[in-house]
Structure 1
């Protein structure tokens, strides 16, 4: 990953990442409703709300600036795609709560790692401050998901 040294570029990445997270959590919430697990559906709905709040925060931080309209190949994602664009290919009528939590936890860890890496490698103090704040928020999501994962241990 190339380091991000520009606040507008960072915010463009953050907006896409948080939108991907909100969409993924909404999809997982709907899947859990379909599969009859209302408790976990509500949890994923709450996580989608948090991601939308982070998206609104990123947009607000951009203020009146016009964020760059990046093409897919211009994003500086670690693996070529948004860290929180979790694959839903395993989502089907037999999807377990454990698997849904595993998907969410994996993507939140990747999101946190992305922000932490930006904070570590940037030379821009504004970008570092924002990336550290976003990394801390993602770490809170990881912690919440880890608590939920303990409630639904993997079955053999």
Structure 2
């Protein structure tokens, strides 16, 4: 992917889906009575919305750009965030929610790393590397929560 506007349209869609999924997880964890995890997921949704806003500003978008469904170039045919989410249900426990979120963040990180590795355009490469680093931070946060849960 060597067009910055196209890259940013993908990043915006990915972050929009990420924020929505984290909100779903927060609601599920709140209904489960796990308020601390619900708040963590709300914080992650906030980060996704910040990334979405950053991508929109970098691309000069005032409204969310839309591409036709077949115009997106996703691995596996769907965005990395959407591919990871089998759905949040009332039976999901904290470890399951954290595992689901971790899978989504890892897929997103891998997606951006692949773009960075393959891009010939230096602006796309640089931005994809920066987005991959942000996703890697999210992966680390989720792994820390899972590790703390295992120890607790």
TM-score band, normalised by shorter chain: over 0.9
| 2:47 paired residue number | 50
- Structure 1 distance, partners of 2:62, 2:51, is 18
Q: 2:85, 2:104 within 8 Å by CA — same for their partners in 1?
A: no
- Equivalent residues of 1:26, 1:48 under 8 A apart: yes
> Residue 139 of structure 1 corresponds to which residue in structure 2?
136
Instruction: List runs of 5+ in structure 1 lacking aligned partners.
Output: none
Q: Which residue of 2 aligns with 1:15?
A: 12
How is 1:20-99 mapped onto 2 (pairs within 5 angstroms)?
Answer: 20-63=17-60, 69-85=66-82, 86-89=84-87, 91-99=88-96
Instruction: Kindly report the root-mean-square deviation, in angstroms, between the aligned alpha carbons of the 2 structures.
Output: 1.8
Distance in 2 between residues matched to 1:94 and 1:69, nearest whole Å: 34
Give the C-alpha shift of residue 153 in structure 1. Answer: 2.9
| Residues in 1 aligned to 2:33 and 2:8: alpha-carbon distance in whole angstroms | 37
Structure 1 residues 143 and 133: alpha-carbon distance in aligned structure 2, compared to 1, 3 A threshold = same
State yes or no: 1:148 paired with 2:148: no
Count of residue correspondences = 150
Match of 2:3 in 1: 6
When the two structures are superposed, what TM-score results if normalisation uses the length of structure 1? 0.90
Unpaired stretches in structure 2, ≥5 consecutive residues: none
